[in-house]
Chains A and B, each alone.
Chain A
Amino acid sequence: MLTNLVYIVGTWLALSLLMTLLLGSNLRHSNFFTSMLYLAFIVVVGDVFLWWFGVPVTEIYFASIAALAIGIPFIIIFHDWNAIGQTFFLFSIAASVVYLIYAFLVTAFSPVSPVAFFISFLLLCLETLALVLSLTYAYEVLDVLCRARWRHTPPVRLLGGYVPMVSLHIPAYNEPPELVERTLRALANLDYPNYEVILVDNNTPDETTWQPLAEVCKELGFKCLHLDKWPGYKSGALNFALAMTDPRAEIVGVIDADYIVQPEWLRRIVPYFEDPAIAFVQTPQDYRDYQHSHFSQAEYDGYKYFFALSMPFRNERNAIIFCGTMGLLRKHVLQEIGGWDTWCITEDAEASLRILYRGYQALFVPETFGRGIMPLDFEGLKKQRFRWAFGGVQVIKKHWSKLMPWSPWIDPDNRLTASQRYIYLSAGLQWFNELLTFAFTSMVLVSAALTVTGHISYLRPTSEAFILLPIILIGTNVLRALWGLRKALNLAWSRAFAALTLWFALTWVVTLACIQAVVQRAGVFLRTPKITTHAAWQRAIQVTSLETTLGSLCVLAGIAAFIHYPSVLTIGLMLICFSQAMIYLSAPTHSMASLEGIAAQRAAMEARRHEIAGTYTNESRLGLQLGAAVVALLIFGLFASLWPTPGKLPWWYKFLPQAPPPAAPVIPTLAALPTVPIPTIAIPTLALPTATAFIFPTPTAFVPSATPLPTWTALPSATLAPTLPPDTATVPPLPTETFTLPAPTLPPPTAPPPSATP
């Protein structure tokens, strides 16, 4: 039943995905009866398909009734979404749950050795986490693109009699004077009568860099502070600027030093503060000069995704973040929370959580009022993403207790709603998706290594159902991410694909950031090297050396496994290796692509390099440590092959969800491998390239029709007991080594919360 349920749910998911890709964002209408009708349509079409393929009618019938019954409350809960989004999300959850139950039963009740169970269980945990994270991504994308009704849309407000004083703070560190001067002159043109500007230059070592800015400030009537040996980086500087803010100011704004702000910004945004509950208003961070290369376009699309999709999703639940630039805050609220946190390196996002904790409201106005400069090479992007990921995990480390479901019971002062807690928690945990990807890559590499060294065994029994659903789920994730990019930003497939691979390219650096943020107590703020002696292309390769190594290893491992033991199984393994390789090899590809048109932008690039203080200089060390972890895992796997295998059939194998295959494939064991010809006849003809390789130890599995290999007798302890009852049946020799075929996760990407540079 469960196996068929896997097929049934997988079919429904595939159908609903197809419909979502075709029509998902076009339908702006939501109605209970339409939704039920659409759900029934998908179910019936899927059922006909399944019936045609021979799935038992009774099982289809009961599954369909269950789907419609569960669909009713589901549609009521998600009544603001259109029918397509509701059905797709319903089947995404159903497929994930069914898969996890199936995987749990197979893991728990397959008669394998304790070591094999131990490793299988680890894999199951990784799969669980990956699917949970995947559902959080799906929820976010569908909530925006399939939403029929918006409830928290900011109304347009015009400047009336309320003209409070605004203090604009511009933190700067080692910025080229001409860049900041443009920012200052743009601010001088603001169409608002009551504001001050404070330029806070912190710790810039060279006086000739900041002195010209002091002159510009004097000319424009702005205030200028040069802070010497000031602690707390950007937060520390902004805190002092807050102390130096005019007491008449009611609103504080923060602008990055490279932002050119449009004159109407304050006039358009300040009126929202007439509502005393509003604590901060954020407008999108936007960028200029991105058309000169494909890399910059991909980078731009990646940034835009956050403001086109994630922020509206958050805004609907009053859970936006303050992004560190192009945002305004109420001054007394900032003073009330104690200013900017100097411990956290994404102090802007951290402050937003503390503000919302006090019950204030926040607003996202989806209209661009200023544009800055993006990192123009891959190295700069890596550093920026490292800081965001590091800071994101820091926020979770500090505030996790405020985000738990029971938190309001423990702390009555906590005024975060359930949605706010969910959004902040899931956003923090989503950073770990890349770490999960790395864990899967490690397991794939270990599997390939075991295959190459001849230690072929089967860690977790696989079957068609076990392969089919992960393929559908992975495909769903990738296609959903592409669809999200395309629809949210109105992109062509090629540009959406480029943006997606750029997210993949950052997998490694986010992995490092997550690990470091978990183990380190404080943020890392080491200087970026200012001078490079290498040629640009050499540098581009050098900064992605670890990703290149990892990706190349995956390619080599896949090819080696196939060459050593060509079979359907190793083709599957090779494909998985290649998919993991694609994730990591995206990094050198984009790094090289970032060289395109770079000469024309060299000045801007250098400027940005200065701005992005902070580095992940421990990358090599951490890379070595992670490499050592993979080697340790490999050694563990090899030792696991020495563990004794079960000698008899347990009573609890009946809990396995799938009946054993009628003709068990025979896989050569280690001893037999050198003498066995290429085992093409050993693998049964399957409709899918599955890895049905585990010998299910039931008597029916060993009926004489199971054609033994000519060398069957050469197998060390192959005992056939076709006529024995189950309780006395002898289990044929389980392979003594492990062979892992984990479902790899292609990280369903999300644009991380942007924040300003230190």
Chain B
Amino acid sequence: MKDPNTYRRQQSLAETQPGKPHNPGAEPRGRERLEELLHDARTAPSTDLALEYMQQAVDIKPNDPRVISGVQLSVFNKLRSDPFVAYLAEADGRYVIRFRNSRPFTVPTARNEQEYYPPPRRTDSEKAMAMMWWILFGLIPAGLGAIILSPFAIRRGMIGLQRDSADPRQHRMAWTAIFLAFVLGLIGLLFGALLLLHFLLLG
């Protein structure tokens, strides 16, 4: 049996939507329809029917405060008898949930998209910057790690300068990474030179 309570891919979310996809060309029509749905939800004889109307309203204008308010009212009316809510998915600023023995419903998340961490992809400048920690760590074994890693960080920073030149933040980050890698590399060289002195002592 398929477990319904797992993350689903975004494409499959459409399958869970009771309403049709939003059509921007039909904006005035949609506004009229929204008013109509909100009214129907308010006057619906049962909570299930109110939820059906609100579901269509969410499909038209999910971030409208009246829609959010209406959804909450309908959901809590539904949950008054049984507070069970099961998670199905979350995407496009909506939760896809179901109640006990019900079909899926969508509820607006009512918040901005969060900065995703860990990021799926880092820019070259970010990679160069993240290498700073390794270079710092590389100072501990008599600077050897810093000596080895700083050229790589400088190279990565230079690539970042070329590739991310359109974005001033990335540009500045690349310059910072290059400068830091250079300074830490120099410190590493100093420590490495001290180690070398001790090797020469053996001779």
Instruction: Find chain A residues with CB under 8 A from B11 CB.
Output: none
Question: Taking CB as reference atom, which chain B residue is nearest A129?
Answer: B140
Contact of A338 among B7, B83, B108, B111 (CB under 8 A): B111
A-B contact pairs, 18 of them (CB 8 A): A108-B194, A113-B202, A114-B199, A114-B202, A122-B140, A225-B79, A229-B87, A231-B90, A244-B75, A246-B69, A247-B69, A335-B110, A338-B115, A343-B117, A401-B129, A410-B169, A410-B176, A646-B201
Contact B198 A226 (CB under 8 A): no
How far is A341 from B113 in the complex, measured between Cα atoms in Å? 11
Question: Taking CB as reference atom, which chain A residue is nearest B114?
Answer: A338
Q: How large is the interface on A (under 10, 10 to 19, 20 to 34, 35 or more residues)?
A: 35 or more
Contact B113 A117 (CB under 8 A): no
Q: Mark B69-93, 1 if CB is under 8 A from A, else 0.
A: 1001001100110011111001000
**Partner-B contacts on A (CB < 8 A):** 108, 111-114, 116-118, 121-122, 125, 201, 210, 214, 217-218, 223-231, 239-240, 242-247, 334-339, 341, 343, 354, 398, 400-401, 406, 409-411, 521, 644, 646-648, 650, 652
Contact A334 B111 (CB under 8 A): yes
Contact A410 B7 (CB under 8 A): no
Question: Taking CB as reference atom, which chain B residue is nearest A199?
Answer: B83
Contact A521 B118 (CB under 8 A): yes
Contact B173 A652 (CB under 8 A): no
Q: How large is the interface on B (under 10, 10 to 19, 20 to 34, 35 or more residues)?
A: 35 or more
Contact B113 A338 (CB under 8 A): yes
**Partner-A contacts on B (CB < 8 A):** 5, 7, 65, 68-69, 72, 75-76, 79-80, 83-87, 90, 95, 107-115, 117-118, 126, 129, 133, 139-142, 169, 172-173, 176, 191, 194-195, 197-202
How far is A487 from B7 in the complex, measured between Cα atoms in Å? 52
Contact B75 A644 (CB under 8 A): no
How far is A746 from B122 in the complex, measured between Cα atoms in Å? 39
Instruction: Find chain A residues with CB under 8 A from B68 CB.
Output: 247
Question: Taking CB as reference atom, which chain A residue is nearest B143?
Answer: A121
How far is A341 from B118 in the complex, measured between Cα atoms in Å? 12
Contact of A243 among B108, B126, B140 (CB under 8 A): B108
Instruction: Find chain B residues with CB under 8 A from A339 CB.
Output: 109, 111, 114
How far is A42 from B44 in the complex, measured between Cα atoms in Å? 82
* B144 shortest CB reach to chain A, Å: 9
Question: Taking CB as reference atom, which chain A residue is nearest B88?
Answer: A229
How far is A497 from B72 in the complex, measured between Cα atoms in Å? 52
How far is A400 from B85 in the complex, measured between Cα atoms in Å? 37
* A314 shortest CB reach to chain B, Å: 23
Other 6 A-B pairs with CB < 8 A, given A227-B87, A341-B117, A410-B172:
A121-B194, A225-B85, A243-B110, A335-B111, A338-B114, A646-B201
Question: Taking CB as reference atom, which chain B residue is nearest A339?
Answer: B111
How far is A247 from B73 in the complex, measured between Cα atoms in Å? 10
Instruction: Find chain A residues with CB under 8 A from B195 CB.
Output: 114, 117-118, 121
How far is A144 from B195 in the complex, measured between Cα atoms in Å? 43
Contact of A117 among B142, B169, B176 (CB under 8 A): B142
Contact A118 B141 (CB under 8 A): yes
How far is A242 from B90 in the complex, measured between Cα atoms in Å? 14
Contact A125 B76 (CB under 8 A): no
Instruction: Find chain B residues with CB under 8 A from A111 CB.
Output: 198, 201
* B79 shortest CB reach to chain A, Å: 7
How far is A246 from B110 in the complex, measured between Cα atoms in Å? 11
* B122 shortest CB reach to chain A, Å: 11
* B81 shortest CB reach to chain A, Å: 9
Instruction: Find chain A residues with CB under 8 A from B69 CB.
Output: 246-247
Contact A243 B194 (CB under 8 A): no
Instruction: Find chain B residues with CB under 8 A from A226 CB.
Output: 83-85
The 3 closest A-B pairs by CB, nearest first: A338-B114, A229-B5, A646-B201
